[in-house]
Chains A and B, each alone.
Chain A
Amino acid sequence: MNYNLNTADPMIMWIDLNSAFATAEQQAHHSLRGKPIGVTNRLSKECCVIAASYEAKALGIKVGCRRTEAMALCPNFIMLESDPPKYHTVYEKLLSIMKDYSPNVKMKSIDEGIIDFSGSQPLRKGRSLQDIGQEIKQRVRNEIGDYTRVNIGIAPNRFLAKTAAGLHKPDGLDTIDHQNLVDVYKSLKLEDLNGIAEGYGSRLRAHNIFTPLQFLRADKDLLSKRVFKSINGLHWYNRLRGFEADDYQTQLGMVGRQWVVKKPTSDDRYLRSCLHFLAETTAMKLRYRNVEARGVCVWLSFNNGEFFTDKKMYKTTCYTNQDIWLRVSRLFNNRPEHLIVRTMGLYLYKLSPSTRNQQSLFREVQNADFLTKAVDEINDYYGTFTIYSAETLEGTRNVKQKIPFGGTEYFNLLLKRA
């Protein structure tokens, strides 16, 4: 059967440092090697695993598993608190290795990235991507650590490269091209495909698509008009055949923070201080990204299961700590005050590029801008939260910055606070 596959040479290499945080801990601590360990953001009775070692995964302990569940599965399970500077070192070293092979490198998250070898034939000097893959594996062992392993996938597009990287964990090197694509699909289940989870899986099954091979055979119109009912169908049609559908830039839509309240309470002073702290760190993120926001949203979840959310769109943008806190606190005042708060968060939306270089005509606006710049510079040099609002004191003591999933842009910023 002719599937109209992309017959171009595979030029995308996906490098994945699986169980990155847990592997970094095992790399650092010899006594933890070969043992079921997990990393969590904050050690507590009900904390959950954000990264599990291969040994833990083999016992059924996965990301998101609570500590109590993990201990029930394995009484010897070891849980460690995350150590961002350590992971950042691994990230930097991996990125440095990858950049030696092509200028076209993109990190997809803290522990995985892509090297695009398109047009890099002169740099490769006749070497195959498989040879380079083996060399990268050896360099990771030499430069990051002897216990660190990476999965490498090579394919004509990002989707297949990621699929290839997941074929033989934890130390695989696989290539998918038009010659073996059908065989690879035969060995996979629908939900093994990256991007197909329960929701999309159900949709596909509702249209008699039960396997990746049936997905590949599906007609373009069926996918775009009936299954996905959007351009997504066409993207999937191309993606499955090895054509690139995922090389695009995403836009920043919102910036925010959330926090599980350390001691659930309705105490206004405590909650206000912690929320103020969250607002200041969000403002810091906003300025780091060089954007300003018009929309503000505050949300709370309560011990009795109820939920509060309030948002407001302003005519003018904001970016200073004072402005953001003013807007956030107004929304926070609308909450039901007697309820015990369990989780709190805020986000800023309707973002636009910063206009801070444009000097204001108004003295008060200028002063607020100068003050923000001065505080940012001092904190940048002497460490974040050298200077902070007095009201956030309680929050500074209680709220810890944790590892974010997904983007890598904030990572350098967060490390200043680690």
Chain B
Amino acid sequence: MDPTIKLNERVDIVALYRKDGDIATLAFPCKMKYKGRDITFTKLGMRHPTAQGKRMIHVFDVTDGSNDYRLEFNAESLIWTLVAVIPGSLS
């Protein structure tokens, strides 16, 4: 079945904005503080924007090497939300 655990909780994020070629910038959330734990992300799976009315939400699918996290960044209110986790220990 669907292994996604939905959380929808606001989180503290340290993000990196890296120059990617001459024009593009790669935005990447590197670290997250969640329930007192520091989680360091190692890889970005995919980033995609999604419009909710006039608000632009950027969705980041990242991994810390064991679990996958879905983070959403509200570009209007500048709020980071941990939307869901997919545990990596799936058989």
Residues on A lying within 8 angstroms of B by beta carbon are 24, 27-32, 35, 43, 76, 78-81, 85-86, 88-89, 145, 381-383, 386, 415-416, 418
Contacts and interface: CB of A to CB of B under 8 A. Distances in A.
A386 B54 CA distance: 11
A383 B52 contact: yes
Given A78-B3, A80-B2, A31 B53 contact: no
B43 interface: yes
Contacts of A418: 50
A89 B63 contact: no
B32 to A, nearest CB: 16
Interface of B: 1-4, 43, 45-54, 59, 61, 63, 66-68, 86-88, 90-91
A80 B5 CA distance: 12
Nearest to B42: A30
Contacts of A32: 68, 86, 90
A78 B2 contact: yes
B53 A415 contact: no
B48 A86 contact: yes
28 contacts: A27-B45, A28-B61, A29-B45, A29-B61, A30-B43, A30-B68, A31-B68, A31-B86, A31-B87, A43-B1, A76-B91, A79-B1, A80-B2, A80-B4, A81-B2, A85-B50, A85-B59, A86-B46, A86-B48, A86-B59, A88-B48, A89-B46, A89-B47, A89-B49, A145-B46, A383-B54, A386-B53, A418-B50
A411 to B, nearest CB: 13
A79 B3 CA distance: 8
Contacts of B43: 30
A78 B1 contact: yes
A32 B87 CA distance: 10
Contact of A28 (B46, B49, B52): B46
B90 A78 contact: yes
Contacts of A415: 50-51
Contacts of B67: 31
Given A28-B68, A80-B4, A85-B48, 10 more contacts: A28-B45, A29-B63, A31-B63, A31-B66, A78-B3, A85-B50, A89-B49, A145-B45, A382-B54, A383-B53
